[in-house]
Amino acid sequence: MLVALAVPAVLTAPLTSAADPAATTEPGWQLGLSLTSGVTTNEQVGSFESYVEGSDPREEVNAAGKGSESAIAPFAGASLELRSPAITLFPGSPRVFAAVEVLPTFTGPRRLASQGDPGEFAFPDGNFVKDLSDADRRAGLQRIPVETLMGRGDEITASVMTVAWAAGIGAAFPLEAWGRRLSLRPYAGWIRYGVLIEGVVRRPFKTDVGDGQSPFGQEYRAVVLSRREVLFFNGLGPGFELEMEVGRWGAFQPSIFVGGAAYRVLGNRRLEVSAAKSYPELFEPFPAIRGGDVLLPAVRNTATWSIDIAPWLYRAGVGLRVRWPGK
């Protein structure tokens, strides 16, 4: 958006012709400031597994799932560049440049894999379990099988962290085309970004209601496991820009550019996290009636979530650069 607002302002401002040698061939070091926007994309694969240890087989729950998503992250950022004088020893008299960038991203969490629809536990009529009185909870739960309760499920989500950093070094090769001065700018780039993963398991447990004998189902256990973790990645790879000067703006040289890059993600590309919680035996609350039966056994609930990042991250964008030619 910043680029979209800035480009018309530059193009409509009083400019010196780009064909004017005084506007394009200053021999010294040049400092440039750029505004850029675009997207990055990277394939991500998420999986989850949850299980109950030590439970009665009647109540044992095993869940597993796997899914993938293209993590498209829009960004709008800025870069600072230093460009050398023209090197006349090489054909085309290229200039060497180095740049650093900060790239705020704008993206939310994406669900990579899920089973059910984890959320607030609720009865089919929409009343949330946590908002009911004890009497209502017992009355409702003894009538409703656990499979009908809403809010049950497992999921793993991932989101790109708010800020990424990048840098590059390359060469700018000037040429004339369509009455404009262009630059072909191949470079080697580096990027660093983070991914936040969040995993959750929400499972209600209660006694069986299938035999129709009251007061089955009056006891309820809510199991909620969650974990969140951040993993940072570094990438190296080639990039290319096509830049077009649009003349002279006072003492400055504005230009517009379009480009892209492909980064090979280095090091460990997998993150795995887990969570566990143990629960004691739950006994019949009316031993005189039921003889102190165990309604829910002692169990340990465990969940594991993992994410695998594809080996390549791709980037594309446009921008506006304002360069100070120096003296």
- State the average pLDDT for the chain: 80
3-state secondary structure (DSSP) of residue 36: strand
Q: In the structure, what pLDDT confidence band is assigned to residue 179 with cuts at 50, 70 and 90? A: confident
pLDDT at site 242:
96
Q: How confident is the model at residue 107 (pLDDT cuts 50, 70, 90)?
A: confident
Identify the H or E element spanning 182: strand 180-206
**214 contact partners, CB below 8 Å, separation of at least 6:** 142
Res. 8: pLDDT tops 70: no
pLDDT value of residue 11: 44
Domain boundaries, the chain: 2-324
Number of other CB atoms surrounding residue 48 within 10 Å: 23
On the question of pLDDT at 3 being above 80, the answer is no
Beta bridge partners of 281: none
- Mean pLDDT for 171-190 is 92
Question: Residue 300: beta bridge partners?
Answer: 53, 278
Distance CA 81, CA 183 (A): 15
State mean pLDDT over 281-302: 63
Band of the pLDDT at 207, cuts 50, 70, 90?
low
Least confident residue range of 69-73, 82-86, 122-126, 149-153: 122-126
| pTM of the predicted model as reported, rounded to 2 decimal places | 0.78
Residue 325 — very low, low, confident or very high, per pLDDT cuts 50/70/90? Answer: confident
Could you write out the DSSP letters of every residue in 256-307? EEEEEEEEEEPS--EEEEEEEEEE--EE-S-HHHH-S-EEE--EEEEEEEEE
**Cβ atoms of residues 109 and 158 within 8 Å:** yes
Strand partners, 51: 62, 302
pLDDT in tens, 292-308: 565 667 778 889 999 99
Percent of the chain surpassing pLDDT 70: 72
Query: Which of the two residues, 78 and 296, has the higher pLDDT score?
Result: 78
